[in-house]
Structure 1
């Protein structure tokens, strides 16, 4: 039975919380602690890696706990409600370190609050993902659910980028780039805390009527050990393909997103207003990729879609940087400079959006197949296991980026005009190194073997919107 539109919208709104957190980490946090507060890149990367490793280890535990939880509000909703306030408070504290902290003090503050933020997010997000897999058992309806989650994620990132950057970080005579102004970051902290807490509560409240229809926790005598769950999951070829593919993609994403603001400020020499404008290319691309995911799944199925999307995303995100290093990219100020970057960001965003939606839909298929084979509904554990490898790999990506900044001797707390051309070139090569992991992930995805049983010519609504 198809889900009501109201249910899909309510569920999708929950993604806003995770997207605001991820966008804040990728766009503001690393840059704030290194270039604004002066924390060593290696220490900043290590701090985030520690937090991500802690988060990755707790993901399977949170998934298993929610799989076996019994309450009048079901298995998932109690954790979603419980996480809202702690997440908001931890996020606010993350961006409010006391003045005068030395390197060790900044490192400990970043590590401690990053762990609190990610721990609270895990308490919410793993049950949230599992809830999405349980809302429907239909092969293509899962894509619709994942698409609403993706659309809401874009809506969460849009105000952060398009409104947050120009509003909180305008250019001033004191700072060449507004992102170097420390006064904007407390505003990011407060707004992010309010948005995340509100989104979680809307999602939990809006999907509460589905609780009676969801699978319930097994009786105590039917529960299995953690290692048995892990062994059963690992024996599934399609799960292994997603697990390894996600791990490789996450390393690539971790490096690129950690260095993204550095690249925009120092390599492209963009003002904060231009960074916000160019980000619209990626955001619009995400929406297009999400909308096209369903038709692509019906026409070509999910595995070919994710392979093409992963390859395209890896290439689009690095072509402009490689072309500029080779001296064939238009110079800043020429008519093609901004439109070309905007176009490549659009293509990369479309491919990334399609890959994310496809991966989420594929994991829901794996969870359904696992339940049919084993008789156990363990969506929480399966989604958390994939999140585990993703977050652990992103931690490696953060560490590579942070240690790489120190290795190339990139200057801290410097205006763009004060950084040498050689240092900027080394920064670009450090960013390009990440695409290797994205290319290797394509080989892993080839082993995924769940597919639509209907041939392309007989698949219903082959061009239907995934949001229907």
Structure 2
């Protein structure tokens, strides 16, 4: 086994923490909006059937699963050659606003199939641009800091910003559409304005975060191990997937954490997609208050999860957050018999747990990268983050797919802009089940792979060293 050189752990500067966290303004926004509004935009504005809408949404996300590991491997090569992953992040920052606006620029009156195809192609391009930023972004913590607790600090700051972003986009996006309609505009125009405002925010946030690498790397090339460059610059797509599979096979801690996170992403994606339907069809209100009750507690308790992680360990804190979320979600099944504003209380508890479900696994991910570098040699942080992003994307996407299937099976009635429909009781039950019982069951299922996660504080702090350190101080040719 090849061991990297030991060196003193680095301490994060406040400016580095801030600039890294700012990226979550954009990642939180793009991670929230498609799941929240894209499905309802297709079914309630464009008149696309739930089954057709779910298929279009899922295909675009499957593309993410295909492209993310490739982006991760290519960003590893960029790091090895230039000392930075910044080029990918800037390309994503510029491309995402353009394609996101196009996603919500469907001309009124198009046939159902044409509307679905327009959204599919535009969103596929937007998702690709987002991955160009997101994959290197997730890889950075393993390279910015070495300490077990400092990683928790970095990711806790990110989650505070993420929670604010989800609140702003989740509540503000639908309110912006409503304001445009109230001012005499159409729903089509409302969604287009929403996308344009969101795209501008994505651009600014991503460009700010793209500068965080400069102060850490200084622009000098970073040596890469044989695990990251063995196939040379002409490696094809299949080679990158081979590396992703090798990462899964070669790191049991990473594998356990990834499976846990993907199952939980499926549960969260399902609840996120169902929020707009719960607000409209069960509560008869807008979605803003529902998002306030979910995200406001997350803002308050995120530092508390960091404290619990320091005292009990990240893995125990993560398990606690998972159980808390599952119990809160399961209680929402009572909406079938007792619809009312009482649901905001369990949603707030789920929001408190959600803060831990976001910050803790992302703080554990660089620990698995460091463990892999110690055991197998460095150079795979981008590959790890690429597979991770693909798994998260797949989980959230198939959460929306599950909801679309539930809606189709239970008889949900789609509408176009300006129309209303009385939903059958079976559809209401389906919406509530998709918001409560199914996510709760998935969250409890995720505890099985989490129980197999082996890393503890002593494993990480045994050797504090950079993720890119070379064995025996060697230097690449």
Would you call these one fold, judging by a TM-score over 0.5? yes
Q: Distance in 2 between matches of 1:222 and 1:435?
A: 39
Name the counterpart of 1:466.
none
Q: Residues 63-462 of structure 1 correspond to what in structure 2 (within 5 A)?
A: 63-69=72-78, 74-170=83-179, 181-212=187-218, 216-218=222-224, 223-224=229-230, 226=240, 227-228=242-243, 230-270=245-285, 272=286, 275-320=287-332, 322-325=333-336, 327=337, 329=338, 332=340, 337=341, 340-413=342-415, 418-431=422-435, 432-453=437-458
| Closer, same or farther: CA 105–416 of 1 in aligned 2, 3 Å | closer
Matched, 1:49 2:54: no
Give the conservation status (yes or no) of the 8 Å contact 1:56–1:392.
Answer: yes
Structure 2: stretches of 5+ with no match in the other structure: 1-9, 231-238, 460-477
Is the CA contact (8 Å cut-off) linking 1:309 and 1:355 kept in structure 2? yes
Q: Aligned with 1:453: secondary structure? A: helix
* CA distance in structure 2 between the aligned counterparts of 1:221 and 1:91, rounded to whole angstroms: 36
CA drift at 1:397: 2.2
How far the C-alpha of 1:152 sits from its partner, in A, is 1.6
* Residue 26 (str. 1) matches residue 42 (str. 2): no
Secondary structure of the residue that 2:140 maps to in structure 1? helix
Q: Which deviates further from its counterpart, 123-132 or 255-264?
A: 255-264
Distance 1:405 1:162, change over 3 A: closer
The two structures have a TM-score, normalised by structure 1, of 0.87
Q: SS of the counterpart of 2:78?
A: coil
| Aligned-partner Cα distance in 2 for 1:191–1:370 | 41
Q: Where does residue 460 of structure 1 map in the other structure?
A: none
Q: Equivalents in 2 of 1:122, 1:297: separation in Å?
A: 29
Alpha-carbon distance in 1 for matches of 2:69, 2:298: 29
Q: Which secondary structure state, in structure 1, belongs to the residue aligned with residue 211 of structure 2?
A: helix
CA contact (8 A) 1:254 1:393 kept: yes
The 1:104/1:449 distance shift into structure 2, 3 A limit, reads: same
Residue deviations 1:325-367 (CA, integer Å, cap 9, x gap): 2x3x4x64xxxx3xx3332222111101111110001111000
Aligned residues: 438
Matched with 1:4 is 13
Change (3 A) 1:219 1:297: closer
Please identify, of 113-122 and 256-265, the stretch whose mean Cα deviation from structure 2 is larger. 256-265
Is the 1:62–1:122 contact (alpha carbons within 8 Å) kept by the matching residues of 2? yes
Q: Distance in 2 between matches of 1:152 and 1:72?
A: 32
Partner Cα distance (2:261, 2:180) in 1: 38
In structure 2, the CA distance between the partners of 1:217 and 1:390, relative to structure 1 (3 Å rule), is: same
Q: Report what 2:235 is aligned to.
A: none
Write the distance in 1 (CA, Å) between the matches of 2:411 and 2:118: 24
Structure 1 residues 394 and 158, CA gap change in structure 2 (3 angstroms):
closer
**Is the Cα–Cα contact under 8 Å of residues 254 and 398 in structure 1 kept in the other structure?**
yes
CA RMSD of aligned residues (A): 2.6
Q: Which residue of the partner structure matches residue 3 of structure 2? A: none
TM-score (norm 2): 0.85
CA distance in 2, matches of 1:211, 1:255: 39
In structure 1, C-alpha distance between the alignment counterparts of 2:420 and 2:352, rounded to whole Å: 30
Distance 1:416 1:252 in 2: 29
Give the 3 Å change call, closer, same or farther, for CA 21–350 of structure 1 in structure 2: same
Q: Which runs of 5+ in 1 are unaligned?
A: 455-468
| Structure 1 position 212, deviation (Å) | 2.7
Cα distance in 2 for residues equivalent to 1:240 and 1:20: 27
Q: Secondary structure at the match of 1:412?
A: coil
Q: Deviations 1:40-75 (Å, cap 9, x if unpaired)?
A: 111111111111111011111111100111588633
Structure 1 residue aligned with 2:236: none
CA distance in 1 between counterparts of 2:433 and 2:180 reads 28
Closer, same or farther in 2 for the Cα pair 1:189/1:357, shift >3 Å?
same
1:143: Cα distance to partner?
Answer: 0.5
Note closer, same or farther for the CA distance 1:260–1:196 as it changes in structure 2 (3 Å cut). Answer: same
Distance across 1 between alignment mates of 2:247 and 2:432: 42
Shift of 1:173: 8.6
**Separation in 1 of the partners of 2:372 and 2:16?**
25
What is the deviation of 1:371? Answer: 0.9
